[in-house]
Structure 1
């Protein structure tokens, strides 16, 4: 069956594709196919002349996801400069709600899997995992079940997810850098500056040679960031933030079908390729339970509570960006962590494969619970608004 580019640019089909890819990865990891697929994912490929030598699964997480983060950064810059976050007035409620959607899940996670819970420092390292919101999934659910919802719900959710992405990017850059070589990182910053200049030249001329130079400089930036000890996906963020608006939009438009149709599903498959553990006397890791609760429960409590508090402090006479029932719907949607949460699980427990796999299972299970709940809640709110519209007709 041929998949149209239009479907890959939409919201519903990419979300379904992500879910299928993750489900397939989890299924094949627990069938006799495990060993042959694991051998492929663990096969190493190096870059001649550098110290870069990664397994295919690492190339997916470090290389392909850098392209995804390039797209995220392009959209982020657009929203911050010309979109839904271009003023304090617009950003206030989603920003406060996003803060709650980060702080409460962290608190829930640490309560279950932190040092004070008796679990030790090993599982406590996973506290960033339940802080993310998956834009593709959340907007996909909204598109499937939200017919009739006010446009403000989608705008709020998009702003919330983008702010979550900013926080996730900061976590990746700060928490998971290791033995940073600042000289190489400074060279990467210089390369990013050159990329910014080239993008502005491309915006004026559109010459193919400049586009090729930008690709070369972009790849060089990725290599320098990777070699510096900062996580390689940050290269995509840096490049996306400095790109000139017109070339950036053309790049986002060109990359979108590839990111939605190949990059994210391949990452979802590889990240979800984990063996479901046999339950012995110790049972599942506290990291699993902490993520399972923090995503669907911590997110909805944090986003709803902090979003409601933000409404209390709005200027008199100003309508709230979102009413309380719609805040709850956005909060449940925010519990779908998936892509960035899977990446954070891989990074937080890179040195402990057993805990890492259980954390990944926690992300998948918690996101699935949030996905089902959000379908129910969003459908109910959409029916409410459709009935109101019918009553006014």
Structure 2
């Protein structure tokens, strides 16, 4: 379990699962596995979903539940609990959303792939922090904090996109019933410290499942239920729940989702015949994130300096953070599924774009993060008695 709570191992598992999905889809076993993914499971005539939908609508809701608990903590007690703390990563996150969208739309303009513009906006928290853990020994803690805040804000944007862009024909009665279940869940979670934990815990699980099913039936994407439940839960029980669920999310939920999302047959076409969805995501993830995060992040450092704050990061630190931001994976894969739900051919090529763009970002991040880490280790070796200086003058550092 300790291994599954680390930053490194889950990232490796996620990458291996995605690679396995791609290999299986392009092997002789591909059609059989595809049949399994499209087999329906559930209560016949009442509530049935395909295996694929159970993974991306059911299991992935647990991932979003855990993310929402972390978001709740950061908004109340962590790095985003004031406008001043959130300003720099918020400005950088805005750049990391706007620039990839612009790049994607330029590439996909006039094609049937234009609806995929939300895909390159996401950052995979687990993967980015995993790369940081592997290659970032010696980096200042401010960079990890900045990246965590940046990735969380990116996730908020992704959640908003899922809730607003990919919701049709809402059944407001079902949504209202889901809201009642979620309110009851939040109220009951506040009794965990004063009453019997086991009965209340069982009741919370039941309420959570009911809320998820009602949100699904309402027409809103079911992962939103996980987000709202995570935000509604009392903080201390929520943090304990996150601790319990973390190994299962890292070791089962995310690898299963990565495997199922990567079950894509690589098209036997020349590069010129590939969809703009592929090229748009391929370029927008690594290039758009680096350009957007570093330039808008530099602007945020300038604003912080004028307001009297002392920026803890340099421009080159921001370039490294931008490369980490380009590792899309989980949320980008989900956005790809949703954006092209009615166009499987384009969806598959967008998925390939997510995998390829994320891998390019991963390699770029490994190089850039290693370079910055080596720089800070040299500073620490040269001045062992003093903390490294990251003042405003360092922003123009090469």
- The two structures have a TM-score, normalised by structure 2, of 0.94
The answer on whether the counterparts of 1:288 and 1:359 sit within 8 Å (CA) in structure 2 is: yes
* Partners of 1:351 and 1:158 in 2: CA distance: 34
Pick aligned residue for 2:93 from 83, 94, 98:
98
Pick aligned residue for 1:326 from 294, 297, 317:
317
- Structure 1: state its 5+ residue gaps: none
2:30 corresponding residue in structure 1: 34
Query: Offset at 1:30?
Result: 0.5
The answer on whether the counterparts of 1:203 and 1:244 sit within 8 Å (CA) in structure 2 is: no
2:170 corresponding residue in structure 1: 180
1:342 corresponding residue in structure 2: 333
User: Mean Cα displacement is larger for which, 32-41 or 77-86?
Assistant: 32-41
Query: Offset at 1:311?
Result: 1.3
- Secondary structure, counterpart of 1:53 in structure 2: strand
1:377 corresponding residue in structure 2: 368
Superposition map of 1:53-202 within 5 A:
53-115=48-110, 119=111, 122-202=112-192
User: Mean Cα displacement is larger for which, 304-313 or 316-325?
Assistant: 316-325
The answer on whether the counterparts of 1:93 and 1:321 sit within 8 Å (CA) in structure 2 is: no
1:311 corresponding residue in structure 2: 301
Query: Offset at 1:282?
Result: 5.9
1:274 corresponding residue in structure 2: 264
* Partners of 2:296 and 2:236 in 1: CA distance: 36
CA offset digits 1:154-183 (Å, max 9, x no partner): 000000000000000000001001110111
* Partners of 2:292 and 2:362 in 1: CA distance: 17
The answer on whether the counterparts of 1:101 and 1:131 sit within 8 Å (CA) in structure 2 is: yes
Query: Offset at 1:365?
Result: 0.0
Aligned-pair Cα RMSD in Å: 1.2
* Partners of 1:269 and 1:41 in 2: CA distance: 11
Residues 206, 162 of structure 1: alpha-carbon distance in 2 compared, 3 angstrom cutoff: farther
Query: Offset at 1:128?
Result: 0.3
* Partners of 1:392 and 1:301 in 2: CA distance: 32
* Partners of 1:214 and 1:336 in 2: CA distance: 34
Query: Offset at 1:205?
Result: 2.4
Pick aligned residue for 1:235 from 222, 225, 228:
225
Residues 204, 48 of structure 1: alpha-carbon distance in 2 compared, 3 angstrom cutoff: farther
Query: Offset at 1:42?
Result: 1.0
* Partners of 1:45 and 1:189 in 2: CA distance: 26
Q: Stretches of 4+ moved more than 4 A in 1?
A: none
Residues 90, 289 of structure 1: alpha-carbon distance in 2 compared, 3 angstrom cutoff: same
